[in-house]
Amino acid sequence: MPKECRRKSSKDFGLSGTGINEGSRLERRTAEKASHTCDDLVEKAAQIAASSVTGAPTVMDAPRVPQVTITPESGGSSREMQKEDWDDAVDGTLRRKLSNSSISSTGSSAVESEDDLLSDNESKSKGIITLEQLVDTGESKAWWKLKTIVQWPFSVTQKRKLNWVQLAGHKGNFKAADEGNILKKFSENEMLCFEKLRDDALLLFVPGYHGTVEKDGECFLHMTDLLVNFDLPNVMDCKMGVRTYLEEELVRARERPKPREDLYTKMMEVDSEGPTPQEHSQRGVTKPRYMQWRETMSSTNTLGFRIEGIKKCDGTCRTDFKKTRSKKDVIQVFKDFVGGNGNITKSYLSRLTEIRQALKTSQFFRQHEVIGSSLLFIHDHTSNAQVWIIDFGKTTALPEGQTLSHDIRWQEGNREDGYLWGLENLIHTLESVSNEVTAEETFCSVAEETDCCQTIEADGQ
Ligand code: I3P
């Protein structure tokens, strides 16, 4: 993908909100640019996935499936959504204008350094995934928060005030959509994955995908909101696999290393002894080096998954898991997350077992290098508990005829990602949580009975 296009989409299309609230002249100009860029990309994407990009359901047709939601964090990208917004985004014609992606594995020939391929620092900030949607409590947290009143197409009585909190992820990647849905910044990789997943065994375990839409001059993936069926949900994001960067990122960094100060700073915040003497002197760390360091600090390398963030129903939010590495520590975080509830733990375990089974039969899974994808755990006080496979921005198709086993050691060149190995460890972790929780529940009930017996004996005397 031409570098020029990517830069335009991040800077000019208002990822930090400039395209929404500024004057109409700017909006028009921005929209014109976006249209132009989208048009260029439509043809290209159509060549890749022509047959599958048709027939996106309208809002009314969209299946009401539980989904993930995330939202813009920056104030500029939030506002009340109006009927005409949705008319713009989803109408009968629904032009399939495809924006470019800041994460693309297809444009390597045009890029000049690792960052040209790997990241767009103008549009991305930190982390990884999810957010939450809940009834407004009026509380004001330091977390990135977006308040949106969804006014249409719902009646006054159906209006709901929503708060969305983004646990992790690239800032500004999400916008509000019609109720039950969200808009996620367009990524070619992710779109192609969703198109292929339409006919795959994993379909039941990924967010509903309703095609692409254009809004405010930007292109988005129209997806279901995974939190919609929950009442004050607890949400955890686990990034899967032993590797969190693509092999091509590694190659590029080797060919054209580009130390980044922001990654050096992030590394220093966690461990001042993390950077090498050379990295200290240049005050910069390359992306793969940073990613590898993150993997060794967390449980990615040792367990094949890591905890990225947790949002609990009480409003507390944690993303400080960069040094959560040992199995013992991971178990403790999970126990806290499920609140010592054995039923929720068992529901999660059963869902993970279903996911494992589906992965083993999935053609999509066999034919893709799955990098940076997460499992999203969601439960609420009704013991409704679900796990979803999310984030396919860096999930890349293998060359024709090549497949992965996902459970053998990664060596550069074999593109293995350790996803299944990580899932196996995740299941073992949940089993340990379940055992501990059951033992504690048994202990408590015995203790209660003992107290009870003592009372009876005392009464009898
Ligand atoms: C970020 C995290 C993201 C990565 C991002 C990192 O680190 O590893 O997965 O984005 O790279 O900065 P952290 O979790 O410590 O904040 P990608 O997955 O898209 O590569 P970026 O800074 O280049 O966006």
User: What pLDDT digit, counting tens, does each position of 225-253 carry?
Assistant: 999 989 999 999 999 999 999 999 999 99
Contact 222, 410 (CB under 8 A): no
Residue 128 Cα to ligand 1 midpoint, Å, equals 7
Average pLDDT value over all residues in the chain: 72
**Token representation of residue 47:** 């060549």
CA proximity to 173, closest of 185, 182, 162, 164? 185
C-alpha pair distances (Å), 397 with each of 57, 247, 385, 403 = 25, 13, 31, 9
Interatomic CA distance for residues 199 and 15, integer angstroms: 32
Higher local confidence (pLDDT), 52 or 314 = 314
Q: What is the pLDDT of residue 454?
A: 56
pLDDT of residue 300: 98
Cβ(129) – ligand 1 distance below 6 Å: no
- Residue 125 region, left (φ>0) first, then alpha (ψ -120 to 50), else beta? alpha
Residues 290 and 284: their CA atoms lie apart, in Å, by 10
Most ligand 1 atoms within 8 A of CB, residue of 124, 252, 319, 391 to mutate: 124
Number of other residues whose CB lies within 10 A of the CB of residue 35: 14
- Whose CA is closest to atom 14 on ligand 1? 127
Question: What is the C-alpha separation between 150 and 177, in angstroms, rounded?
Answer: 8
Query: How many other C-beta atoms can be found within 10 angstroms of the C-beta atom of residue 80?
Result: 12
- Range name among 65-74, 155-164, 284-293, 315-324 with the lowest pLDDT average: 65-74
C-beta separation of 258 from 277 below 8 A: no
| pLDDT value of position 55 | 35
CA distance 322 to 299: 9
Q: In whole angstroms, give the CA distance from residue 10 to residue 123.
A: 5
Residue minimizing CA distance to atom 12 of ligand 1? 126
What is the pLDDT at residue 442?
81
Structure tokens at 448: 């209660």
Q: Is 373 in the pocket of ligand 1 (CB under 6 A)?
A: no
Task: Read off the pLDDT band of 165 (50, 70, 90).
Answer: low
Does the CB atom of residue 294 touch ligand 1 within 6 A?
yes
Q: Is the pLDDT of residue 178 over 70?
A: yes
Ligand 1 center from residue 323 Cα (angstroms): 16
**Residue 13 Cα, ligand 1 centroid: separation in angstroms?**
21
Residue 135 forms beta bridges with which residues? 162
Q: What average pLDDT does this structure show over 391-395?
A: 97
| 3-class secondary-structure state, position 222 | strand
The arithmetic mean of pLDDT across residues 301-313, rounded, is 97
Q: DSSP character for 202?
A: T
d(CA 192, CA 368) in angstroms, rounded, equals: 11
Residue to mutate, 185, 270, 290, 392, ligand 1, most ligand atoms under 8 Å from C-beta: 290
Is the CB of 102 inside a 6 Å radius of any atom of ligand 1?
Answer: no
What is the rounded distance in angstroms from the CA atom of residue 363 to the CA atom of residue 347? 26
Dist. CA 250 → ligand 1 center (Å): 14
Distance (angstroms) between ligand 1 centre and the Cα of 87 equals 34
- pLDDT: which is higher, 458 or 262: 262
The pLDDT score that the predictor gives to residue 441 is 81
Residue 168, pLDDT score: 60
At 134 the three-state DSSP class reads: strand
